[in-house]
Amino acid sequence: MALLSPLLALAITVAVGVGLFLLLGKDPASGLRMFFVEPVKNLYALSELSVKATPLILIALGLAVCYRANVWNIGAEGQYIFGALGAGWVAMQAGPGTAWMGHFMVLPILLAGVGGGMAWAAVVALLRDRFNANEILVSLMLVYVANFLLGWLVTGPWQDPLGHNFPQTITFLPQTQVPRLVRGLRANLGLPIALVAVAVFTAFLFRTYRGFALQVGGLAPQAARYAGFSSRGALWTALLISGGMAGLAGGLEAAGPLGQLTPYVPAGYGFAAIIVAYVGRLNPVGIVFSGVLMSMFYIGGELAQSRLGLPKALTGVFQGLLLFSLLACDTLIVYRLRWQRAAHAASAAPGPRAAAAGSER
């Protein structure tokens, strides 16, 4: 049932979606086709699907490590933004003199993205470690700080002087942009990086001592302390890995499809990846399938908006429905509903005479 629960949740989401299309006066078949057929109908659509799925998979892999260690990082969106800032700053330093490096320039750019995400996650780890601050609130609030910092940079120090006062940086040079896999399509090097990361995280979580220690600390903190596993080490390891993966996703996005920094770098991937991690059962292989499903929701929502005139918020509605349905299914796996008759409940309650006798005593 634990394996079938995500499939049941998807079926419930589709059923509710059909009802929403009917309420909005749209053909349910056309609406479902936008979400489940159009994103995979040809090579171009699959390329766009990979562009959306890559950051979701990378961020969800890091979050899976956090959640298995019982560390609740909700601010991956902020770490994603900081990764884009780090990668963007390195990309803007490139000039004509770095043309000889070719696409090898991408390596320091992505490393800067990883470093930016880790640095922002380290703030959360430090406040939790030294001051016992709640990592849920701290990581979430730091998302807004990162967002405001991005807005200030692209309208101030990093603004393109030839950009007609638009809030954006210069367009990154060709040698600083992530190479594409196929000419004419937007699928880039991020896709194989994400697949390699899946294999690495699978081995880390299920075949290494450190991964075992993290999971024991999340499932049974007292047993972990008895075994000598460091809770501080688990906290820092989980948050730095999570922040680094979110930063890598931000770097790939900034130096890939975007090619510059704008206020629209944050696309909600950090929050959507929470759903991806849980629908994937916190398993790297499952995260691949849930990441593809979530990216289909993104693309389907955009197509439904442009072709059917449906509201943009429909994407968020489908994401929320999927998470809510999954939580409900998981609850019913652990707990069983027991219906009791009202007559039985009434007979168990004391009658008026018994209550009067009790008051007299």
Residue 180: what are its φ and ψ, rounded to 5°? -85, 150
Residue 206, domain member (yes or no): yes
Q: pLDDT tier at 110 (50, 70, 90 boundaries)? A: very high
Residue 188, domain member (yes or no): yes
Residue 129, domain member (yes or no): yes
Residue 181, domain member (yes or no): yes
Partners of 180 in beta bridges: 188
| Greatest alpha-carbon span in the chain | 99
Residue 33, domain member (yes or no): no
Per-residue pLDDT tens over the stretch 233-263: 999 999 999 999 999 999 999 999 999 999 9
What is the number of structural domains in the chain?
A: 1
Residue 261, domain member (yes or no): yes
Per-residue pLDDT tens over the stretch 11-23: 999 999 999 999 9
Helices within 263-313 (DSSP H only): 269-279, 284-307
Which is nearest to 270 in space by CA: 56, 48, 50? 56
Structure tokens at 286: 């499952």
pLDDT of amino acid 151? 96
Residue 31, domain member (yes or no): no
Residue 124, domain member (yes or no): yes
CA distance 316 to 291: 15
HSE value, Cβ hemisphere, 13 Å, CA-based, for 238: 32
Q: Cα 53 from chain centroid?
A: 10
Per-residue pLDDT tens over the stretch 91-100: 999 887 777 6
Q: Which domain holds residue 194?
A: 45-306
Global pTM reads 0.91
Per-residue pLDDT tens over the stretch 270-324: 999 999 999 999 999 999 999 999 999 999 999 999 998 888 888 889 999 999 9
Q: pLDDT tier at 347 (50, 70, 90 boundaries)? A: low
